[in-house]
Amino acid sequence: MKYALVTGGSRGIGRAVAQKLASQGWPVIINYRSNDEAARQTLDAIVAAGGQAELLPFDVTNRAETDAAMEQWEQQHPDDYVAVLVNNAGIRHDAVMFMMTDEQWHTVLDTSLNGFFYITRRLLKHMMPRKRGGRIINMASLSGLKGLPGQTNYSAAKAALIGATKALAQEVAARGVTVNAVAPGFIATDMTSDLDEGELKKLIPAGRFGRPEEVAALTAFLASDEAAYITGQVVSINGGLYT
């Protein structure tokens, strides 16, 4: 059986992506670090809607923990593999650079970049043999394309993820694996709850923040068979804020 794995899948965009993939028939692995309650709510919502899902907690920034969690999963699913990986885990620690701490810098980059590296490297060995194929979708950001003041760390992490997306896509295309990035603008989630939505939406041609479900719909398309010839791309979803 082919599974879909969503990192940071307990809340916000990750939850919406997990629910959308499950609604399309994918058995979904919901990864999260520590919020058991939110993860259980996501699982319950998927099951209540008739989907299949399971929880797999591990810290994507920790290589040993990531490998151990996936090793255990693989032992429990000897005939299955992860065919869709959504690298959604990410955090913000905003600050102007001259006041930014080492921890704010490293934590943000570790989550977006090391998290992408550890889990993607692990799963590629199952996607690539005998051209089994797969889909890797990396959650980038408007910040990684445009750069946003107060987010030097986040912009750097997401810009690097975009570069990695383009490079990896070329490495694995011949094996039937596509690698794309989704670059949301301002989306109404817990991560953006501290922002001044009233002021920021004045800058957005669409006049509003996006919804997690809209990002999920785009992600699910990139995970589908219909997107088999799309790879190495960065698809923006930002209401026209940056085109």
Catalytic residue check, 154: yes
CA atoms of 241 and 243, how far apart (whole Å):
7
Give me 234's structure tokens.
Answer: 């960065």
Cβ within 8 Å of residue 108, ≥6 positions away: 90, 91, 92, 93, 153, 154, 157
CA atoms of 86 and 93, how far apart (whole Å):
22
Q: Which of 3, 154, 229, 242 is catalytic?
A: 154
- What are the φ and ψ backbone dihedral angles of 45, each rounded to 5 degrees? -65, -40
- Among left, alpha and beta (phi > 0; psi -120 to 50; other), residue 79 is alpha
Which spans in the chain are helix H? 12-23, 36-48, 63-76, 102-109, 115-127, 142-146, 152-172, 197-200, 212-222
CA atoms of 159 and 23, how far apart (whole Å):
31
CA atoms of 153 and 129, how far apart (whole Å):
36
As annotated, the active-site residues are 154
